[in-house]
Amino acid sequence: MGRREEVDPGRQRGPALGQPPPADRATFTKLDASIIPTAADIAAAAWRRHAMSVLEILANTGQDFDADTVSALVGKSPRGRQLSAIFAVARRRHKIVLVGVTLGHGGRPLRVWRGAK
């Protein structure tokens, strides 16, 4: 009968000398490095927190406001289209309700919001 090779469970077989590591190990190190937040990621997260808190304060006043009002208070986002995401989150959480549409700078339509009661 054939000889059965016993393998120590603590011992893992690696690639032969001179061979590259398996693809999953190489990919793991690239993925591992990609989850480390950059300075831009940290700045964007801080801006989002600030914008959400300003939006909640405006909602609690009971007065109408729009994206231009929030943008004037928090400044330009470090990444594009974050302000619309902030409004979407606040709407889904039932913090604001749409009350109308007006014309903004350059004649563009601009939604008008109010805090939900």
Domains of the chain: 40-115 (1.10.10)
The mean pLDDT of the chain is 83
The string of pLDDT tens digits covering residues 97-116 is: 999 999 988 889 999 999 99
What are the tens digits of pLDDT across the range 73-88? 999 998 888 999 999 9
Q: At residue 62, what are phi and psi to the nearest 5 degrees?
A: 85, 0
pLDDT at 29: 59
Phi, psi (degrees; rounded to nearest 5) at 88: -65, -40
DSSP string, the chain: -PPPPP--TT----PPTTPPPPHHHHHHHHHHHHTSPPHHHHHHHHHHHHHHHHHHHHHHHTS-EEHHHHHHHH---SSTTHHHHHHHHHHHTTSEEEEEEEE-GGG-EEEEEEE--
Stretch 40-67: mean pLDDT: 95
Residue that the structure tokens 């990444």 belong to? 79
Whole-angstrom distance, CA of residue 61 vs CA of residue 114: 9
Residue 19 confidence (pLDDT): 66
Question: Within 10 Å of residue 31's Cβ, how many Cβ atoms?
Answer: 9
pLDDT confidence bin for 94, thresholds 50/70/90:
very high
- pLDDT on residue 81: 85
Which is more confidently placed, 35 or 109?
A: 109
pTM: 0.67
